[in-house]
C-alpha cells in the first residue's frame, strides 16, 4: 500500500514535469477588444460588446498600477469583463502600461487628472453621454474615488472593488509595514520602483505558502492516468490555469517614483484621503463631493486590503444611494475564484443595470446621463449595507432596518 502511494506521488511529479517540459500554450486577456485611445504608455481598451444593444452608460474599469488589468479577463470562464459584456454592458479598461525611466516624475495627479480624466473624456465623446460608470479595483479603486471626488459631474455611478481608502489600520500587514518604510530613500535611489521590489513584499506576507506549498500543491493536484485522454486534458487545463495565474502574479510593472512616493506617504503613512486632506493638482480631494450612487465591494478574507480600509468609504461620501457588499472570498478570489462568476459579477450587474439607463430607457443614447437616477425615488434616501450572505437595507433616517440572511453562505475561498 505504502509502495503504491509512493509510486502515485512520483507519477504525479513525473506527469507534472512532463507537462511543464512541453509547456502548454496559454493566453490571457482573450476577450475581443480594440485600443480606442492612447496617451504615452496608457492605453484605453474597449471590449467588443456581445449584445446588440448594450446598456447605454459605459463602464470604465480602473485597475491598480502594481499588477496588470488582465486578472479581470484571465481566461474565458474566469473573466469579470466577459461576464459584464454578457450582462449587456459596454466595457472599457485602462491599461497603464509598463513605466520606464522617462516616467519616474509622473505624479498621482498625472494619473488621476491626466490619464484617467482623458480616458473618461474619450469615452464620454464616444458614447455621447456626459457621464460614465467608474469601476475601480484595488489601488485603481482609490484612484477612482479620487477622480469621482474631483470630477463628480462626469461620474454616474461609482463601484469600488477591494479598494483601500482609510489606511490607518494595523489589521493589514501592508499597512503596518508601510509605516516603517523610508519611502524617500527608496524613490530617490530607484527612481522607478521595481515591480519585483513590491512583489517580494507580497511574497513575504506568507512566504512558506506562496513560495513552497503552492508549487507542491500544483504537482499534488495532477491526476495520474496516462491512458485516459480526458484525464490528460484535465491535467493540461489545470496546468494552464496555474501558469496563467503564475504569469499574472509575477507580471508586475515598475512604479513611477513620484506617484509611489505620494501614494505611500500621503495615503499609507499620513492617511490624508479619508481626512479630505489629500491634494491633487493643488486642490483638496474632498470625498463629500462624491454624490453619485456608490457600490463598495469587499472580500471578507482580503489579506492585502483589509475591510477596515475599505468600509469607511460609505460614511465619507455624501451619496444617498449607496450599498456595501462583502463576499466570503479573498483579494484575488473576488475576480477569479468560484464566487466571482456566480455571485460577485451578478450582484454588481444587478446593481448597475437600473443605474445604467438614460431617462429610464436603455435604447436612447442622447442626452445627459445625469437626468435619470434609477432607484433614487424623490425625497427618499437609502443606504444599503450587507454582504453576499447578509443584506441589510436601511433608510438613512435609521427608522427601519431589515436583515436578510442568505442561505448560500459558502466556505472561504482563499487564493
Partner 1 sequence: MWLKVYNATAGRLVEMPALGPAREKSEKTMKGFSTFVNLYAAGMESNSNFQSVFMEAMRRVKEKTGSEMEGEITPEKCKDFYKIWIETYSETFKEFLKSGHFASDMGKLNSHLMDFQKYNREMLEENYLKPMNLPTKTEIDEINKELYSLKKTVKELTSQIKELKEKK
Residues lying near partner 1 in the complex (CB under 8 A) = 2, 5-6, 9, 40, 101-106, 110, 114, 173, 176-177, 179-182, 185-186, 188-189, 191, 204-209, 212-213, 216
Which of 77, 82, 112 lies closest to 273 in space, CA to CA?
Answer: 112
For residues 101 and 128, which CB has a smaller minimum distance to partner 1 in the complex? Answer: 101
- Name the burial class of residue 389, with classes exposed (0-12), middle (13-18) and buried (19+) by CB atoms within 10 angstroms of its CB: middle
User: CB of 8: closest distance to partner 1 in angstroms?
Assistant: 9
For residues 182 and 363, which CB has a smaller minimum distance to partner 1 in the complex? Answer: 182
Which of 193, 183, 136 lies closest to 161 in space, CA to CA?
Answer: 136
Is 138 noted as a catalytic residue in this protein? Answer: yes
For residues 2 and 366, which CB has a smaller minimum distance to partner 1 in the complex? Answer: 2
For residues 37 and 69, which CB has a smaller minimum distance to partner 1 in the complex? Answer: 37
Residue 326: phi and psi, rounded to 5, are -120, 125
User: CB of 204: closest distance to partner 1 in angstroms?
Assistant: 7
For residues 191 and 354, which CB has a smaller minimum distance to partner 1 in the complex? Answer: 191
For 118-127, give one letter per residue: b (16+ CB within 10 A) or e.
Answer: bbbebbbebb
Cα-atom radius of gyration of the chain, to the nearest Å?
22
With beta carbons less than 8 A apart as the criterion, state whether 209 and 249 touch: no
For residues 2 and 230, which CB has a smaller minimum distance to partner 1 in the complex? Answer: 2
Q: Distance (Å, rounded) from C-alpha 53 to C-alpha 75?
A: 25
For residues 82 and 306, which CB has a smaller minimum distance to partner 1 in the complex? Answer: 306
Q: Distance (Å, rounded) from C-alpha 337 to C-alpha 78?
A: 8
Q: CA-CA-CA-CA torsion for 364, 369, 374, 378, nearest 10 degrees?
A: -120
Q: How many CB atoms lie within 10 A of CB 244?
A: 20
Do the strands 42-47 and 33-39 form a parallel or antiparallel pair, or are they unpaired? Answer: antiparallel
Grid-cell match 483601500, residue found? 164
Active-site residue identified among 138, 224, 267, 345: 138
With beta carbons less than 8 A apart as the criterion, state whether 214 and 45 touch: no
Distant-in-sequence, close-in-space partners of 310: CB < 8 Å, separation ≥ 6: 141, 160, 162, 163, 164, 165, 166, 296, 298, 302
For residues 48 and 204, which CB has a smaller minimum distance to partner 1 in the complex? Answer: 204
With beta carbons less than 8 A apart as the criterion, state whether 371 and 359 touch: yes
What is the layout of strands, in order, in the sheet containing 132-137?
33-39, 42-47, 91-95, 59-62, 132-137, 155-161, 294-299, 321-327, 382-386, 390-395, 401-405
User: CB of 182: closest distance to partner 1 in angstroms?
Assistant: 4
User: CB of 2: closest distance to partner 1 in angstroms?
Assistant: 5
The Cβ-side half-sphere exposure at 117, using a 13 Å CA radius, reads 17
User: CB of 67: closest distance to partner 1 in angstroms?
Assistant: 21
Task: List Cα–Cα distances, 351 to 148, 246, 289, 331, in angstroms.
Answer: 18, 32, 22, 21
Q: Report which secondary-structure segment, H or E, holds 36.
A: strand 33-39
User: CB of 414: closest distance to partner 1 in angstroms?
Assistant: 13
User: CB of 181: closest distance to partner 1 in angstroms?
Assistant: 6
User: CB of 11: closest distance to partner 1 in angstroms?
Assistant: 13
Q: Distance (Å, rounded) from C-alpha 45 to C-alpha 92?
A: 5
Question: Catalytic site residues?
Answer: 138
Amino acid at each position: 500500500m505504502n509502495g503504491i502511494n509512493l509510486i502515485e506521488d512520483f507519477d504525479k511529479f513525473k506527469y507534472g514535469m512532463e507537462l511543464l517540459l512541453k509547456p502548454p500554450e496559454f493566453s490571457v486577456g482573450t476577450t475581443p477588444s480594440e485600443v480606442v485611445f492612447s496617451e504615452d504608455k496608457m492605453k484605453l481598451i474597449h471590449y467588443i460588446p456581445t449584445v446588440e444593444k448594450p446598456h447605454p452608460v459605459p463602464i470604465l474599469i480602473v485597475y491598480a498600477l502594481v499588477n496588470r488589468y488582465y486578472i479581470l479577463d484571465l481566461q474565458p470562464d474566469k473573466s469579470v469583463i466577459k461576464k459584464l459584456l454578457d450582462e449587456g454592458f459596454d466595457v472599457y479598461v485602462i491599461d497603464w502600461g509598463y513605466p520606464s525611466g522617462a516616467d519616474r516624475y509622473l505624479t498621482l495627479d498625472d494619473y488621476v487628472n491626466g490619464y484617467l480624466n482623458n480616458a473618461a473624456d474619450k469615452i464620454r465623446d464616444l458614447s455621447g453621454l456626459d457621464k460614465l460608470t467608474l469601476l475601480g479595483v484595488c489601488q485603481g479603486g482609490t484612484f477612482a474615488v479620487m477622480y469621482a471626488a474631483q470630477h463628480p459631474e462626469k461620474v454616474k455611478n461609482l463601484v469600488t472593488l477591494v479598494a483601500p481608502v482609510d489606511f490607518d489600520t494595523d489589521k493589514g500587514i501592508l499597512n503596518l509595514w508601510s509605516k516603517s518604510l523610508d519611502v524617500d530613500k527608496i524613490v530617490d535611489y530607484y527612481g522607478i520602483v521595481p515591480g519585483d521590489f513590491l512583489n517580494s513584499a507580497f511574497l513575504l506576507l506568507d512566504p512558506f505558502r506562496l513560495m513552497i506549498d503552492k508549487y507542491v500543491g500544483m504537482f499534488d493536484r495532477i491526476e495520474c492516468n496516462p491512458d485516459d485522454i480526458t484525464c490528460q486534458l484535465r491535467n493540461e487545463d489545470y496546468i494552464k490555469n496555474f501558469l496563467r495565474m503564475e504569469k499574472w502574479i509575477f507580471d508586475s510593472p515598475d512604479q513611477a517614483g513620484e506617484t509611489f512616493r505620494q501614494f505611500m506617504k500621503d495615503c499609507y503613512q499620513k492617511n490624508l484621503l479619508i481626512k479630505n486632506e489629500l491634494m491633487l493638482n493643488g486642490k483638496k480631494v474632498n470625498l463629500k463631493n462624491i454624490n453619485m450612487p456608490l457600490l463598495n465591494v469587499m472580500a471578507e478574507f482580503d489579506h492585502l486590503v483589509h475591510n477596515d480600509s475599505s468600509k469607511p468609504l460609505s460614511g465619507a461620501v455624501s451619496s444617498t444611494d449607496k450599498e456595501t457588499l462583502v463576499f466570503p472570498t479573498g483579494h484575488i478570489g473576488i475576480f477569479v475564484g468560484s464566487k466571482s462568476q456566480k455571485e460577485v459579477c451578478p450582484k454588481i450587474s444587478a446593481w448597475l443595470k437600473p443605474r445604467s439607463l438614460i431617462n429610464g430607457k436603455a435604447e436612447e443614447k442622447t442626452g445627459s446621463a445625469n437626468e435619470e437616477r434609477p432607484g433614487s425615488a424623490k425625497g427618499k434616501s437609502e443606504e444599503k449595507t450587507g454582504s453576499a450572505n447578509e443584506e441589510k437595507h436601511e433608510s438613512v433616517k435609521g427608522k427601519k432596518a431589515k436583515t436578510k440572511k442568505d442561505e448560500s453562505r459558502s466556505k472561504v475561498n482563499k487564493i
